[in-house]
Chain A
């Protein structure tokens, strides 16, 4: 439209010039100037219009790339999908966190760490089948001399069967607790993940197996599956890892995982009332794998958890209880007498947390929070002959006070202070940056 106007204006300008030669020079100049001004105005309008069109087109292209095709509207027959079959698509995502910890009673123990950098890939083969993978680096550098780890955190194929029924095959996250399946730094409060869901539930906990999930009209989601489990043969009674996280020290993570004994898991989560989640889960399986000469081939590891989260208005309230048990460890622990870390019979913990969305300025959201947790990684031991056992640990109680500052949707800055009741030397100040997209 504007192009035509300009063309007309130009033609008019050139045609008008010789015609105007018969008129007075002043009049001619005035006309030329007037036309030049009009031309400039048209040019400016055209430029603005092109810019607007480009912006709109870019937006539409972005949407078109996301939405494969518009839904057929009123005339759609009942069996036709609302969104036409899209071409196979591959999506990349990532998350990461960098943390700084400063023990307040031992500042020389201060540390900054690239805690994790994760690349996620999701590929959809067709409308019903997709692959999900997550590749992770922890502690920045991985080599024989360094402390970093490089790992495949998730690698599974998911197939949908309709009616909300779906199955996963591969290395997937065990649906237990609140954090394990939502472990991106933008999804939880505090610089560090809570103790209960790291020391008791060994987040990020994944196993190789097959799962089946579904949901009901009443808001109930269920998951169940058969997977690899733990390898009690890896227990290091001389070291401290088992004291830090009993299951974290003997998980297999799909690394040539011993699979003579398989485990089963089940989870139920109810979200029937908006803003409320109530759920629980169980995971159980033997962990001896009939290894030659191993004295705990009948040992069974069982984990249970109950959790709830309620988000009324600006509040975000949650609570969780988790308990683990390792049975038939008497004979094994007798062989470990003299070591500082025998296999516990039970370990457990709980926490309660309240966060409040205090301020929103632009795309900054400030949410202070407080969390109280109590946990014990060696709550009890199986009986051993008198005088040879190790005393059960006292419950550790940790209060965490801090705030998350979200920048937009994908970036979070965190600061908190943690006070330990038992081991006061662990009191610390934490700062962190995390992102997820």
Chain B
């Protein structure tokens, strides 16, 4: 169902000064993730060394970055959750994506902002993205072949994106969880 939203949005993107593989921008993604939000506040995150080490331990991956692009979604003063923006390399090209997180650090939603590989655009499919919902760095199940199904013919794209989401889930667990 959610995917239907993409069609008019993608059509808009195509109608705008063309940016072919861009499906959403950050603003559109945050509205898709938190339709009930009345305000979005940029609250970028800088991890301490100890937090980075915790992230590495939780995710089983290098923490990669100190700084994370985070937007808080609010309804009045009530925190609804966060959106973390990130990029990973697919096979050769950059995939830009956003991870929506609940205040308890569980994944709420994944949105693909740009995808430029010739193959593997199927990571945009709602059924595939839905596999992440409700999981967290604590619950696990955020690994291809263990909770996340592979996409045949796009193994690298879906593995790298899944790793990226797992890393962000760990960042949320360590630094954003309320």
Question: Whose C-beta in chain A lies nearest to the C-beta of B63?
Answer: A59
Considering only CB atoms and an 8 Å cut-off, how many residues of chain A contact the other chain? 62
Partner of B18, one of A75, A162, A313: A162
Chain A residues with CB under 8 Å of B153's CB are 178, 181-182, 269, 277
From residue B134, how far is it (CB to closest CB) to chain A in Å? Answer: 15
Residues of A within 8 A of B49 (CB): 52
Q: Is the CB of B26 within 8 A of A166?
A: no
Of residues 18 through 46 on chain B, the ones whose CB sits less than 8 Å from some CB of chain A are 18-22, 24-30, 40-42
Minimum CB distance partner of A310 in chain B: B152
Taking the nearest CB of chain A, how far is it from the CB of B22, in angstroms?
5
Question: How far apart sit A164 and B11, CA to CA, in the bound complex (Å)?
Answer: 10
A80-93 interface code vs B (CB 8 A; 1 in, 0 out): 11110010000101
Q: Which residues of A contact B156 (CB under 8 A)?
A: 409
Contacting pair B3 A128 (CB below 8 A)? no
User: Does the CB pair B65–A63 fall under 8 Å?
Assistant: yes
* Complex CA distance for A52 and B113, rounded to whole angstroms: 32
A74 to B21, CA, bound (A): 20
Given A83-B114, A160-B21, A219-B122, A274:B27 Cβ within 8 A: no
Cβ A63 vs Cβ B64 within 8 A = yes
- Tell me, yes or no, whether A394 is within 8 Å of chain B by CB: no
A162 near B149 (CB under 8 angstroms)?
Answer: no
B127 near A71: Cβ-Cβ < 8 Å: no
Q: Which residues of B contact A217 (CB under 8 A)?
A: 3-4, 6-7, 125
Q: Is the CB of A313 within 8 A of B145?
A: yes
Q: Mark B46-67, 1 if CB is under 8 A from A, else 0.
A: 0001000000000000101111
Cβ-neighbour of B149 out of A66, A128, A274 (below 8 A):
A274
B26: chain A residues at CB < 8 Å are 71-74, 76, 82
Whether the Cβ atoms of B25 and A71 lie closer than 8 Å is: yes
**A309 contacts which of B66, B131, B152 (Cβ < 8 Å)?**
B152
Q: Give the CA-CA distance A66 to B6 in the complex, in Å.
A: 26
Cβ-neighbour of B87 out of A66, A80, A122, A160 (below 8 A): A66
Name which residue of chain B comes closest to A410, CB basis: B156
Interface centre among A73, A181, A215 (most CB of B within 10 A): A73
Q: Is the pair B150, A275 in contact by a Cβ cutoff of 8 Å?
A: yes
Indicate whether A15 reaches chain B with its CB closer than 8 angstroms.
Answer: no
0 or 1 for each of A399-418: is its CB under 8 Å from B? (1 = yes): 00000000001000000000
- Provide the bound-state CA to CA distance between A70 and B89, in Å: 14
**How far apart sit A277 and B149, CA to CA, in the bound complex (Å)?**
11
User: Considering the complex, which residues of chain B in the window 53-84 have a beta carbon less than 8 Å from any beta carbon of chain A?
Assistant: 62, 64-67, 69, 71
**For the complex, what is the distance from the CA of A122 to the CA of B121, rounded to whole Å?**
18
What count of chain B residues pass the 8 Å CB interface test? 63
In the complex, the answer to whether A219 meets B65 with C-beta atoms within 8 Å is: no
Contact B145 A357 (CB under 8 A): yes
Known: A78-B27, A163-B10. A83 touches B149 (CB 8 A): no
B28 to chain A: closest residue by CB = A78
Of B18, B67, B118, B150, the contact of A311 (CB 8 Å cutoff): B150
- Contact check: which of B20, B92, B127 meets A219 at CB < 8 Å? B127
B96 contacts partner chain A, Cβ-Cβ < 8 Å: yes
Q: Does B85 lie at the interface of the complex (its beta carbon under 8 Å from any beta carbon of A)? A: yes
- Is residue A331 contacting chain B, with contact meaning CB distance below 8 A? no
Chain A residues within an 8 Å CB radius of B13: 79, 162
Would B41 and A178 count as touching, CB distance under 8 A?
no
A-B pair count, CB < 8 Å, reads 164
Whether B71 pairs with A274 at a CB distance below 8 angstroms is: no
A405 to chain B, nearest CB (A): 16
- What mask results when residues 80 to 103 of chain B are scored 1 for a CB within 8 Å of chain A, else 0? 000001010100111010000000
Residues of B contacting A79 in the complex (Cβ-Cβ under 8 angstroms): 12-13, 16-17
Instruction: Give CA–CA (A81, B19) in the complex, Å.
Output: 7
Which residues of chain B come closer than 8 Å to A313, judged between CB atoms? 145-146
**Is A197's beta carbon under 8 Å from chain B?**
no
Q: Mark A161-185, 1 if CB is under 8 A from B, else 0.
A: 1111010100000000010011000
The answer for the CA separation of A275 and B27 in the assembled complex, in Å, is: 30
A128 to B114, CA, bound (A): 12
A26 contacts the other chain (CB 8 A): no
Q: Which residue of B16, B25, B149 is within 8 Å of A275 (Cβ)?
A: B149
In the bound complex, do residue B127 and residue A161 qualify as a contact, i.e. CB atoms below 8 Å apart? Answer: no
Decide yes or no: A74 and B14 within 8 Å by CB, A80-B25, A221-B121, A311-B149 being known contacts: no
Q: Could you jot down 17 A-B contacts, CB within 8 Å?
A: A59-B62, A70-B85, A73-B85, A74-B42, A76-B26, A78-B28, A81-B19, A82-B85, A83-B114, A124-B116, A128-B21, A158-B118, A269-B153, A271-B125, A274-B125, A274-B149, A357-B145
12 more CB-based (< 8 A) A-B contacts, given A82-B24, A217-B4, A221-B122: A67-B87, A71-B26, A71-B113, A75-B27, A77-B27, A81-B22, A81-B25, A128-B18, A158-B118, A274-B151, A313-B145, A409-B159
A residues with CB within 8 A of B: 52, 56, 59-60, 63, 66-68, 70-83, 86, 91, 93, 122, 124, 127-128, 132, 158, 160-164, 166, 168, 178, 181-182, 187, 215, 217, 219, 221, 269, 271-277, 309, 311-314, 316, 357, 409
- The 7 A-B residue pairs whose C-beta atoms are closest, nearest first, are A275-B149, A162-B14, A160-B20, A274-B149, A277-B152, A79-B16, A82-B113
Residues of B within 8 A of A (CB): 3-4, 6-7, 10-14, 16-22, 24-30, 40-42, 49, 62, 64-67, 69, 71, 85, 87, 89, 92-94, 96, 113-114, 116, 118-119, 121-122, 125, 127-128, 131, 145-146, 148-153, 155-156, 159
